[in-house]
Amino acid sequence: MKQLTLVLVLLMSSARAGDARAIEALYSDAAARIIEAAMTNEGAWRKLAHLCDRIGHRLSGSPQLEQAIEWARREMEKDGLDNVRALPVEVPHWVRGEESGRIVTPVERPLHLLGLGGTISTPPEGLRAPVVVVRSFDELDELGRERVEGRVVVFNVPFEGYGPTVRYRTEGAIRSAALGAVGTLVRSVTPVSLQTPHTGAMRYDSRFQRLPAAAVTIEDAELLQRLYDSGDTVEVDLLLSGRTLPPAQSANVVGEIVGAELPDEIVLLGGHIDSWDVGQGAHDNGAGVVVSMEAARLLIELGLRPRRTLRIVLFTNEENGLAGSRAYRQWVGDRIHLHAAAVEIDAGAERPIGFGLGEKPGDPEATRRGLERAEAIGRLLDPIGADLIRRGGGGADISTLMRDGVPGLGLLTVGERYFHWHHSSADTLDKVDPGDLRSALAAAAVMAYVLADMPGRLFD
């Protein structure tokens, strides 16, 4: 029995090795053609310049988002994609109003702040209160209700990677309200600041009071900390007028290259088209939008029609709700099993290094097979240095598909400066390197094409 198992394991692993070799042999020419075309491509940059400079930032509910959606739909038609359509999605509609803040005691100083997405407003005349400054939730809880009640909590938490630090932005208002605070200021979730505040999503909890919440710059958070540590009472004035309006109509944009042999099977390539309401949403996520759109155009130009259908999906409302992702999943319904893979581009346009492949829930063996095959595709991207395949990944918009077993991949980049610009007025086109954008295009187009054309699926 043991021997039989051993033989089976050997056979299976050599079949997999054969698979991997077959992928490289089958697609090295196509990959070389795609990379060559992508590395001289002007279309992705032209599209990104239009989206950034002519349309601008595009928060859910804004006219600019709908303008971007209409523009993308028309571009896809012009580029020759099949079945181009906008699938209606209802999205949350929060608008930023007038905002200001200043330290009033023990010195007078302006605060550089941005209301967090979804925050309630302060009273129209503003809010004046003393602050407590903490470096963690533990420090806050140690202060207790007695020292927090009636105050504005300032979370001065240094950046230790996005995941660990962003929870102060998303949960800060809840944790502060639980102790009776009247407002919350969070240090912007970034490792570097030139006095630039970064916004982003936040949450409330129906068990507690909703508090006005804003992000301040690193510079201002550190100033508040120093004043507070001196032992003086530190008071701030805050005025926020953000408010939530009734839900708005938006849409996911979909366009396809219908598969030559298995048209019902889908490989999805896409990213979110919405952004925060500051800057231009160039890295987050204009880059992912234009890379996805242009990858399809490039394959059409090269005459590379894959066996499965390649479906480009530009999701609405990733930033503050994920309504686009949920609506797409609902639209797909039972046809979920026809999704062979999903690739999300939402990591900015710094130099790409490869892809992360999300695990198949509860099936480590399938995950391993998927990784081996994805690594074979990765090797085709060696000429542009994007050959890394990492376990774990995907993306927020495709998470609703991955939960049901669809192999999900997310583009990875060097990630050196993304969070310097993320969700701030500095996320503009000038931060995008045209060469890096071309590399992202090459990586996305090769990955999507091979997934859509290869024999079998990643987790088979």
Residues in 326-365 at the binding interface with Zn ion, rule: CB under 5 A: 346
In the beta sheet, which residues pair with residue 235? 105, 130
Least distance between Zn ion and beta carbon 443 (Å)? 17
- Contact between 265 and 337 under an 8 Å Cβ cutoff? The reply is no
- Provide the angle, in degrees to the nearest 10, between the axes of the packed helices 2-38 and 434-453: 140
Residue 128: φ, ψ to 5°: -120, 125
Least distance between Zn ion and beta carbon 116 (Å)? 16
- Contact between 240 and 99 under an 8 Å Cβ cutoff? The reply is yes
Q: Which stretch binds Zn ion (CB under 5 A): 30-38, 224-232, 241-249, 283-291?
A: 283-291
Nearest to 298 by CA among 51, 99, 7, 35: 35
Pairing outcome for strands 308-315 and 262-272: parallel
Least distance between Zn ion and beta carbon 333 (Å)? 26
Measure the CA–CA gap between 195 and 97, rounded to whole angstroms: 21
Measure the CA–CA gap between 400 and 408, rounded to whole angstroms: 10
Residue 188: φ, ψ to 5°: -55, 140
The residue (of 260 and 396) whose beta carbon lies closer to Zn ion is 396
Measure the CA–CA gap between 233 and 104, rounded to whole angstroms: 10
Least distance between Zn ion and beta carbon 291 (Å)? 13
Residues in 219-278 at the binding interface with Zn ion, rule: CB under 5 A: none
Q: Which stretch binds Zn ion (CB under 5 A): 68-76, 168-176, 258-266, 279-287?
A: 279-287
Least distance between Zn ion and beta carbon 135 (Å)? 27
Nearest to 116 by CA among 179, 204, 47, 2: 204
The residue (of 347 and 371) whose beta carbon lies closer to Zn ion is 347
The residue (of 79 and 346) whose beta carbon lies closer to Zn ion is 346
Residue 232, CA atoms < 13 Å, CB-side half-sphere: 14
- Contact between 190 and 159 under an 8 Å Cβ cutoff? The reply is yes
Measure the CA–CA gap between 225 and 131, rounded to whole angstroms: 10
The reply to whether 199 sits near Zn ion by the rule CB under 5 A is no
The residue (of 201 and 254) whose beta carbon lies closer to Zn ion is 201
Least distance between Zn ion and beta carbon 140 (Å)? 29
- Which amino acid, one-letter code, is at 40? T
Residue choice 19, 284, 359, 427 for contact with Zn ion (CB under 5 A): 284
Least distance between Zn ion and beta carbon 366 (Å)? 28
- Catalytic position from the list 75, 318, 344, 350: 318
The residue (of 370 and 410) whose beta carbon lies closer to Zn ion is 410
**DSSP of 179-219:** TT-SEEEEE-S-S--SS-----B----TTS----EEEE-HH
Residue choice 190, 196, 285, 316 for contact with Zn ion (CB under 5 A): 285
Least distance between Zn ion and beta carbon 284 (Å)? 4
Total of chain residues touching Zn ion, rule CB under 5 A: 3
**Structure tokens, 368:** 């391993």
The residue (of 277 and 346) whose beta carbon lies closer to Zn ion is 346
Q: Where are the beta strands (DSSP E) in 289-338?
A: 308-315
How many angstroms separate the most distant Cα atoms in the chain? 80
Residue length of the chain: 460
Judge whether 318 counts as a catalytic residue: yes
Site string for Zn ion, 148-177 (x = CB under 5 A): ------------------------------
Measure the CA–CA gap between 381 and 37, rounded to whole angstroms: 14
The residue (of 221 and 287) whose beta carbon lies closer to Zn ion is 287
Measure the CA–CA gap between 22 and 12, rounded to whole angstroms: 15
Torsion region of 156: left, alpha or beta (phi above 0 gives left; psi -120 to 50 gives alpha): beta
The residue (of 79 and 397) whose beta carbon lies closer to Zn ion is 397
Least distance between Zn ion and beta carbon 314 (Å)? 12
The residue (of 285 and 424) whose beta carbon lies closer to Zn ion is 285
Q: Which residues are part of the catalytic machinery? A: 318
Binding site for Zn ion (CB under 5 A): 284-285, 346
